[in-house]
Structure 1
Amino acid sequence: MLPKNKTYNLSLLIGLLLFTSQGAWSQSVIKPYQDHPFVQEHSIKYYIDSLTQPRSVAMDRNGNIQVLTHKGLYKPHAGQFLNPGQLVEDRSYLAMKDKKVKAMEVYQEQFVYLDDKAVFSNAWAGGIYFLHGSNAVAQFVPGKEFEFLIYQGNTISKLGRDGVLWQQELDGELIDIHYGKDKGLFYALMKEGLLSIRDEDGAINRLLSGKGFTAFAIKGNEVVLGSNNGYKRFDIGSGKVGAQTSQVPWPEITAVQWIHDRLWFGSNKGAFMLKEDGSYNYYFGERWLTGDRVIDMAEGKDGSVLVLTDAGLSQLVFASHTLEEKAAFFEDQVRKRHIRLGFNSSLSLKERGNVDSGQLKDSDNDGLWTAMYLASQAFRYAVNGDTEALQNCQESLEAMERLYLINPVEGFPSRSYNRSGYKEQLADPERWQSSADPEWDWKATTSSDEAIGHVFVLGVIAELVEDSAMRDKAIGLLDALMSHIVQHDMYLIDYDGKPTLWGKWNPEYVNNFPKMVGDRKLNSSNIIAMLQTAYHFTQKEIFKDKAYELMENYGYLDNLMVPMETIGKAEEGGDDWAAMLSEAWNHSDDEMYFLGYWGLYRYAFTEELKSKYAEAISDHWKSETAEKDGLWNIITAIASPGNFGQEDAVWYLQEYPMDLINWTMTNSHRKDLQFLAPNFREQSTSQVLAPDELMIRRHNANRFTLDGGNKGMAESSAGDIWLLPYWMGRYLGVISEAKK
């Protein structure tokens, strides 16, 4: 058992043992994903006061952005990624203050304006100033050779240097006008149809009749017509009308634009972009947009997309990154904002979305989340020998060691610890206990997911980190924890002398569950993995003997081999505890399984057992493939290097947002999703959504939960969510180093 003031010195023993750590698995079987740059989007947001009404947005050739409001011209101020700015009055041109600007367009990449007197611009040396002579004009659209179509209601006029050239009255309610330079025609969308207007003389031709149109875009011969029920396509040349497309994220279309050769839609519930495969990238919620209702969209010359809502402007930036560069960004995020006393912690925000208002929070699972981050740094160190990664390991391992030292129970890991005097302000104050040092309190009732997290990372450090002091410490802690469990009859015993609620691996508890209840399989799988890991690094026969006793005398091997397809609800009339634990699929259990699989497979006692474990791991992974969880897929590579969902793992890493603020995200309203009937696994849709369209969640959450979040009042750490699967993937050869 580990004394409170020292660790074992087992460096020589480790050297003898590590040659067996790889077993039959080989990195050479895996063809690494080549880490080339990919497009990663993020949003820069600029909010506007609620009394100001935005109308349109544009960017000129110089990269200047202007927003037209009912109060005049505004511009972005002080915004950057994760630090929103504001839209403020644009005072660049003093004389503009007296202009009653009604509309704004970009022509030849320059701003052009319409006021109650003229169409004019500050570009071209101010030489564009075309009087229109009508106080009623409200909108305009550029045509060819500095000519403009101006309109109010259904009255349209063509304006040039010599004044009004012709005027027409349209029959019906005018929605919008665009110029088609390919044919030299203006196209007018009416609420009940589409018209063409000849540039030379204003001759009108009805191209299409319909109802309920709200917005449109034109590119060559193709017109895309938005409505309150999705959109349809119309080919001007052939006159062919496409079918109505209503299965879009939200069908009430407010804007349609071709932006950077992609078709974009604005709606009353966010913006979405049509992808090549016919699905959509959906931008909704404050991760992406300042408000729900999209008023206007525009192309940014820097490759960005400008989305104007009723609450301000969002600039969607599409930048090129490699996964390695994304990892560097997240490494910085963790170190700057998410390290509490060495723990990997979440940041609670006092102001919505403001990371500078954050307070580091304790957690029931400080040990687990830290174990996962610590493992990421151990893998990082094993990949490239990074001295910063080694220091990160040292600091977090010290925090985990203190979980054992701060309480009076030998070999028992606390959930967390904090300075005393703040108990009422911490999560679950009733679980906190005073330590021998009056400066500190510690948290009791440690769970089984903490235990498996500890064993996972202690094994990773013992195997991979070439630092004898750290190895000794890791092995000593591993020995202490597992000695505690074995000596207490396979229970985790708290300060009160009683087992914790979840720290139970005793056969009387485990085998009391029917075989279809997941806890029987889970606890069997976890404890065998824990005992194997302890034996591998300590060579203490008690751990090996206990594992074989559980497998041979109590059926734990059979338990862990139970196929996942048989796991379900307990039969009626059985134990209430079993019924409660089997109401639905438990995704925290998935996390415990897969972290345990590292030691279950890698440190198997025999090749025969390793083969069986590989079968169990692959069986579990196949039941998880729909979730496309990057960590589950990459861990599966140790047992099934030829089939582990490599493409989905990379997709997960690429699609996870760089903004880890817990914004509230909703998707249950979407019309483009195929919803499933209620089921045991709580899989809501046929296909999982991209992580950047969902709320931020750790690996222990259901990735098919469509709605949720915390209104931007917290930021999660990338340490366990992203850095662990990435660096494990690098170590296992799933992902290559960056290709420049």
Structure 2
Amino acid sequence: MRNVFQFCFVSVFLLVSCNQVSEKGQKPMGQMPVYQDVPYLQDFAIKYDLTDDVLLLAAYADRNGTIQAISSNGLYRTHDGQFLYPGVLTPDKTYRPLRDKKLSGMTLYKNQFVYLDDKAVLSNAWAGNLYLKHDLPNANIIAAGGDFLFLISDGTTLQFLSMAKTPWQGQLEGDIVQDILFDASREKFWVLGQNTVSSFNISTSELKTVLRGSDFTSFAILDNKVIIGTNSGYFAMDAISGERVGDKQTKLPVIEITDLEAIDGDLWFGSAQGAFKLRKDGKFDYYYGKRWLPGNKVVHISKGTDGSILVVTDAGLGQIVFKEMTLFDKAQYYDKQVRNRHIRLGFNASLTDLERGNIDSGRLTDSDNDGLWTTMYLAGEVFRYAVTQSEEALQNCRESMEAMERLFSINPVPGFPSRSFERSGYIEVLNDPHRWQHTDDPEWDWKATTSSDEAIGHIFAYGVMAELMDNDLKDRAITLIDTLMSHVVQNDLYMVDFDGKPTTWGKWNPEYVNARPKMVGDRKLNASNIIGMLQTAYYFTGKEKYKEKAFDLMDNHGYFENLMRPIKEIGPAPDDADDWSKMLSESWNHSDDEMYYVGYWGLYNYAFNDTLKANYKKAIIDHWEVERPEKEGAWNIMTALTGTPEFDLEEAAWYLREHPMDLVTWDIKNSHRKDIDFVPPNFREQTIREVLPPDERPIQRHNSNMFRLDKLGRDGRQEYSAGDIWLLPYWMGRYLKVISEPQL
């Protein structure tokens, strides 16, 4: 959803009393703010590709909802087209006689199509009675006024046409006509030249130059101002006095403006690099790339049907739709997205090898993090079940749990979870014989070298399941917790692979962890993760070996100090550090943030005592304070598990609302924008002062830098699953009661 629409749907915060009746399995949260899930306007795009070699000039929607586009070779109309399934623009043969005319322009009058050809202004509305002949065979610009008044131009000459008035003809003073608009409130036409703005009085037929300048490209009328676009920004002119108002505005996504339109009180801009809209707060909503438009060079913008916006580009037509929905509605859509095309053998998987974004052309693929992405989806479905008692959610949990269990059983190493598994033959395809190993069953292969982020994901999901489920899944989750943690403890706090050696990242032993200088993030991260994992294992199994190992690490090896180290002290390793530590700390690792936060569930909830719990809360909030600029929905909501009433709930809801419905990896570029404030290079890789909305930046999981501006080269090749990206924070928020049920 775009922020400009939020003024209609104010987020309401309520205080929930500590003695409130909890949803099934939920712990009372104390006094916490709650986001009221009222409807908001969610935007998404329907695209219509242009397959013919013609130049699109403009497009309009009439009162019947029909969309027509005028081109260098006549009229086109939309065919098919829905969200994620682009339609096409096809020659309009509806009125066959129009195909024989040399149509060069069109507009709307009383929400009916009006056309301009080399002989007349005409329409099929009003029983075809509108037919006004003109004397400009090369006319291609038209504007309609009240009472069937029209002003047309061929760029050099203007001609005024009316059913009741005498025709008039004239020219601008040494200028070329760019565009014409009718000002209904003042009953005059405005004429934009390359270097002038003129007015045409329909009563006196007086053409008067009002303003002089240079490099004008487009204009629009908004309230009592004429807004004038140029190749270097825009400015305003008072429509009554003709005086220029204020300075030229250049803090825009793109300063080279190709079109300006005022639609329902909003100012829309076209450029050679996408479209954008001025919001009420002075910022812009930016629509760039094939997430929104068939092409980036915008030719024309107009009002579409049902509040949508039509954006004509060099490659086709984009229709930006605004649909009223709640976060719960969005969750239902995403649930279908996951189940329809993102479940591979029970795993939460990506769809890859798409042909130009065609979601029906892709294939499900494994990843090194099948376990992690699936545990995050699985935990979200457990939260969903705890909140709704949905049988569908329960079945989703069962199917993913079967995949997670098989990660352990498909390889020969006791207690070791595979990264993934696949039917045989895949090793040769990937040409990765070290990671991919054969099983005893010739039908299956498994992926080795499991990492620490997989392990913490496993313990997170199983802990959530063990706590909130009251069926066989509870016992199965506890079994896997014990299975994995027994492997880790028995192997001296390492995950040991098929070759008898620790994996590259599955290392929590003090000899490895404390070899890192104190400012290197892995020292704090690994300590935090292993303590949370051991606490979870002890909480659900009651086995003293886990508790004893955790206290040994904290009391004798500095792990409590490690995990409590302020996050602001994390930085680059010193010059005399080992190469591995330097590599680990070249910049902030956003995958570490993901590992911290999924680990916080076990660290905080299953603390051995209240003193530790209070300290863990301080560590979590300390981390959250540094993460706040990213406005990361998952991190904000996960911070709420500590019971703190301050966790940027509105920013979390903003993340959920603003996240695009389209999860295809379209090319995204923002580094050229002039409306964002860049900051100097820094350790955390923050590029700009204020993070962009999720629907303006590349599609990414929680382990990526939210300040990343560009992602190019994979245009439409992959679709991510919403299972880990969106459904986890939403359903955790519902479970923690910081997001309400839908308020209709």
Q: If the TM-score is normalised by the length of the shorter chain, which range does it land in? A: over 0.9
Q: 1:230 aligns with which of 214, 224, 233?
A: 233
User: What code does the residue aligned with 1:599 have?
Assistant: G
| CA-CA distance at 1:182 after TM superposition | 1.2
The aligned counterpart of 1:215 is: 218
Kindly indicate whether residue 424 of structure 2 is the aligned counterpart of residue 420 of structure 1.
Answer: yes
| CA-CA distance at 1:640 after TM superposition | 4.3
CA–CA separation in structure 1 for the residues paired with 2:263 and 2:427: 54
User: What code does the residue aligned with 2:203 have?
Assistant: E
Q: 1:544 aligns with which of 537, 544, 547?
A: 547
The aligned counterpart of 2:75 is: 73
Corresponding residue SS for 2:445: strand
Given that 2:136 and 2:153 are in contact with CA atoms closer than 8 Å, whether structure 1 keeps it comes out as no
The aligned counterpart of 1:597 is: 600
CA–CA separation in structure 2 for the residues paired with 1:22 and 1:328: 22
The aligned counterpart of 2:184 is: 181
The aligned counterpart of 1:555 is: 558
| CA-CA distance at 1:50 after TM superposition | 5.5
The aligned counterpart of 2:106 is: 104
CA–CA separation in structure 2 for the residues paired with 1:623 and 1:640: 19
Corresponding residue SS for 2:553: helix
CA–CA separation in structure 2 for the residues paired with 1:98 and 1:50: 18
Given that 2:29 and 2:643 are in contact with CA atoms closer than 8 Å, whether structure 1 keeps it comes out as no
The aligned counterpart of 2:442 is: 438
Given that 2:289 and 2:295 are in contact with CA atoms closer than 8 Å, whether structure 1 keeps it comes out as yes
Given that 1:216 and 1:257 are in contact with CA atoms closer than 8 Å, whether structure 2 keeps it comes out as yes
Kindly indicate whether residue 564 of structure 2 is the aligned counterpart of residue 567 of structure 1.
Answer: no
Unaligned runs of 5+ in 2: 1-21
CA–CA separation in structure 1 for the residues paired with 2:28 and 2:277: 41
The aligned counterpart of 1:10 is: none
Q: 1:576 aligns with which of 559, 576, 579?
A: 579
User: What code does the residue aligned with 2:640 have?
Assistant: A
The aligned counterpart of 2:404 is: 400
The aligned counterpart of 2:614 is: 611
Q: 1:36 aligns with which of 35, 38, 52?
A: 38
Given that 1:377 and 1:393 are in contact with CA atoms closer than 8 Å, whether structure 2 keeps it comes out as yes
Deviations 1:209-267 (A, max 9, x none): 21111000013421111001111111122424221110100000000001122110001
Kindly indicate whether residue 256 of structure 2 is the aligned counterpart of residue 252 of structure 1.
Answer: yes
Q: 1:142 aligns with which of 144, 161, 164?
A: 144
Mean Cα deviation higher: 258-267 or 502-511: 258-267
Q: 2:48 aligns with which of 23, 46, 49?
A: 46
Deviations 1:489-508 (A, max 9, x none): 00000000000000000000
**Runs in 1 of length 4+ with deviation above 6 angstroms?**
none
Cα–Cα, structure 1 residues 669 and 429, in superposed 2: closer, same or farther, change >3 Å? farther
Mean Cα deviation higher: 120-129 or 156-165: 156-165
Kindly indicate whether residue 653 of structure 2 is the aligned counterpart of residue 650 of structure 1.
Answer: yes
Deviations 1:322-351 (A, max 9, x none): 000000000000000000000000001341
| CA-CA distance at 1:136 after TM superposition | 3.0
Mean Cα deviation higher: 730-739 or 123-132: 123-132
| CA-CA distance at 1:193 after TM superposition | 2.0
Kindly indicate whether residue 195 of structure 2 is the aligned counterpart of residue 192 of structure 1.
Answer: yes
The aligned counterpart of 2:95 is: 93
User: What code does the residue aligned with 1:562 have?
Assistant: R
Cα–Cα, structure 1 residues 428 and 231, in superposed 2: closer, same or farther, change >3 Å? farther
CA–CA separation in structure 1 for the residues paired with 2:25 and 2:406: 30
CA–CA separation in structure 1 for the residues paired with 2:353 and 2:57: 32
User: What code does the residue aligned with 2:58 have?
Assistant: S
CA–CA separation in structure 2 for the residues paired with 1:659 and 1:496: 42
User: What code does the residue aligned with 1:386 have?
Assistant: S
The aligned counterpart of 2:353 is: 349
| CA-CA distance at 1:427 after TM superposition | 7.8
User: What code does the residue aligned with 1:359 have?
Assistant: R
Given that 2:25 and 2:468 are in contact with CA atoms closer than 8 Å, whether structure 1 keeps it comes out as no
Cα–Cα, structure 1 residues 83 and 387, in superposed 2: closer, same or farther, change >3 Å? same
The aligned counterpart of 1:624 is: 627
Kindly indicate whether residue 316 of structure 2 is the aligned counterpart of residue 312 of structure 1.
Answer: yes
Q: 1:675 aligns with which of 657, 672, 678?
A: 678
Kindly indicate whether residue 588 of structure 2 is the aligned counterpart of residue 585 of structure 1.
Answer: yes
| CA-CA distance at 1:155 after TM superposition | 1.0
Corresponding residue SS for 1:623: helix
Matches within 5 A, 1:231-380: 231-238=234-241, 239-380=243-384
Matches within 5 A, 1:119-130: 119-130=121-132
Mean Cα deviation higher: 185-194 or 515-524: 185-194
The aligned counterpart of 2:63 is: 61
User: What code does the residue aligned with 1:465 have?
Assistant: M
Corresponding residue SS for 1:244: strand
Given that 1:660 and 1:696 are in contact with CA atoms closer than 8 Å, whether structure 2 keeps it comes out as yes
The aligned counterpart of 2:463 is: 459
**Could you say what the CA RMSD is over the residues aligned between the two structures, in angstroms?**
1.4
CA–CA separation in structure 2 for the residues paired with 1:516 and 1:592: 17
CA–CA separation in structure 1 for the residues paired with 2:475 and 2:197: 77
| CA-CA distance at 1:163 after TM superposition | 7.9
Corresponding residue SS for 2:360: helix
| CA-CA distance at 1:205 after TM superposition | 2.3
The aligned counterpart of 2:730 is: 726
The aligned counterpart of 2:390 is: 386
The aligned counterpart of 1:7 is: none
| CA-CA distance at 1:620 after TM superposition | 0.2
CA–CA separation in structure 1 for the residues paired with 2:530 and 2:206: 82
The aligned counterpart of 1:8 is: none
User: What code does the residue aligned with 2:406 have?
Assistant: R
User: What code does the residue aligned with 1:439 have?
Assistant: E
Given that 1:195 and 1:204 are in contact with CA atoms closer than 8 Å, whether structure 2 keeps it comes out as yes
| CA-CA distance at 1:429 after TM superposition | 4.7
Given that 1:166 and 1:201 are in contact with CA atoms closer than 8 Å, whether structure 2 keeps it comes out as no
Matches within 5 A, 1:684-703: 684-703=687-706
Kindly indicate whether residue 667 of structure 2 is the aligned counterpart of residue 664 of structure 1.
Answer: yes
Identical aligned pairs, as a percentage?
55
Paired residue total: 719
CA–CA separation in structure 1 for the residues paired with 2:363 and 2:431: 13
Corresponding residue SS for 1:593: helix
Given that 1:45 and 1:79 are in contact with CA atoms closer than 8 Å, whether structure 2 keeps it comes out as yes
The aligned counterpart of 1:11 is: none
User: What code does the residue aligned with 1:241 have?
Assistant: V
CA–CA separation in structure 1 for the residues paired with 2:213 and 2:137: 32
Mean Cα deviation higher: 526-535 or 89-98: 89-98
Q: 1:484 aligns with which of 478, 481, 487?
A: 487
Given that 1:403 and 1:417 are in contact with CA atoms closer than 8 Å, whether structure 2 keeps it comes out as yes
CA–CA separation in structure 2 for the residues paired with 1:738 and 1:349: 36
CA–CA separation in structure 2 for the residues paired with 1:377 and 1:429: 34
CA–CA separation in structure 2 for the residues paired with 1:181 and 1:594: 57
CA–CA separation in structure 2 for the residues paired with 1:541 and 1:219: 72
Deviations 1:424-456 (A, max 9, x none): 324845310001111100000000000000000
CA–CA separation in structure 2 for the residues paired with 1:724 and 1:347: 19
CA–CA separation in structure 1 for the residues paired with 2:434 and 2:113: 63
CA–CA separation in structure 2 for the residues paired with 1:418 and 1:303: 47
| CA-CA distance at 1:162 after TM superposition | 6.0
Given that 2:253 and 2:286 are in contact with CA atoms closer than 8 Å, whether structure 1 keeps it comes out as yes
CA–CA separation in structure 1 for the residues paired with 2:659 and 2:223: 36
CA–CA separation in structure 1 for the residues paired with 2:433 and 2:255: 47
| CA-CA distance at 1:110 after TM superposition | 0.1
CA–CA separation in structure 2 for the residues paired with 1:50 and 1:126: 29
Unaligned runs of 5+ in 1: 1-18
The aligned counterpart of 2:16 is: none
The aligned counterpart of 1:738 is: 742
Given that 1:207 and 1:236 are in contact with CA atoms closer than 8 Å, whether structure 2 keeps it comes out as no
Given that 2:45 and 2:319 are in contact with CA atoms closer than 8 Å, whether structure 1 keeps it comes out as yes
| CA-CA distance at 1:51 after TM superposition | 1.3
